[in-house]
Amino acid sequence: MDRSQVAEKVYVVVRAESLNCCTTKMVNEDAGLLAWNEKFLLDIPSRARSITFEVQCKKFKAVRPVGVARIAVSDFLAVSENSMYVFSYRLRDWEGKINGVIHFAVRVPPPPDSSNAAVEPVMGINVPDNVSNDVVIDIPF
């Protein structure tokens, strides 16, 4: 990342084309690396086409965008249930210039076990019990 833009408090906002988002804790740069070891369960709406990772920094009480990576949901379709895949994508600033790389892991959790959970039927809507729109996002680096 362009070090001139990075302040001491850097964090990542992850969202899947919705107002709901997941935010990491703020970290400080350590030997040139920024690392978050956090896991999120991100609900992906069926209409979503991409997941956005926004790296931001808090500098003098203001939030500044450092870089953004927008990843097509189709990139995650090959991830088999309960398997973890690591992805790396370039971050770009708001002018489109490359400004670093973000590494993250994705795991699709298995559908909830319907035999142990009490499921209330919903009238008028067919809800398949073997479909999950959840994706676990882990930013391990």
Supply the pTM of this predicted model.
0.70
> Can you give the pLDDT at residue 58?
83
Query: Above pLDDT 70, what percent of the chain?
Result: 70
pLDDT tens-digit series, residues 68-92: 999 998 888 777 777 888 899 999 9
> Can you give the pLDDT at residue 42?
82
Listed residue (18, 37, 138, 38) closest to 79, CA to CA: 138
The domains located in the chain, with CATH, are: 3-113+130-139 (2.60.40.150)
> Can you give the pLDDT at residue 41?
82
Is the pLDDT at 121 greater than 70, yes or no?
no
| 121 neighbors 97 (Cβ within 8 angstroms) | no
Over residues 20-25, the mean pLDDT reads 86
CA distances from 55 to 30, 52, 68, 120, 124 (A): 16, 10, 6, 40, 42
What span, in angstroms and rounded, lies between the C-alpha atoms of 97 and 5? Answer: 13
The distance in angstroms from the start CA to the end CA of the chain is 14
Going by their DSSP bridges, the two strands 50-59 and 84-92 should be labelled as: unpaired
> Can you give the pLDDT at residue 88?
92
Cα pseudo-dihedral 69, 46, 42, 10, rounded to 10: 20
Instruction: Lowest mean pLDDT of 24-33, 63-72, 78-87, name the range.
Output: 24-33
Q: In the predicted model, what is the mean pLDDT of the chain?
A: 75
> Can you give the pLDDT at residue 131?
44
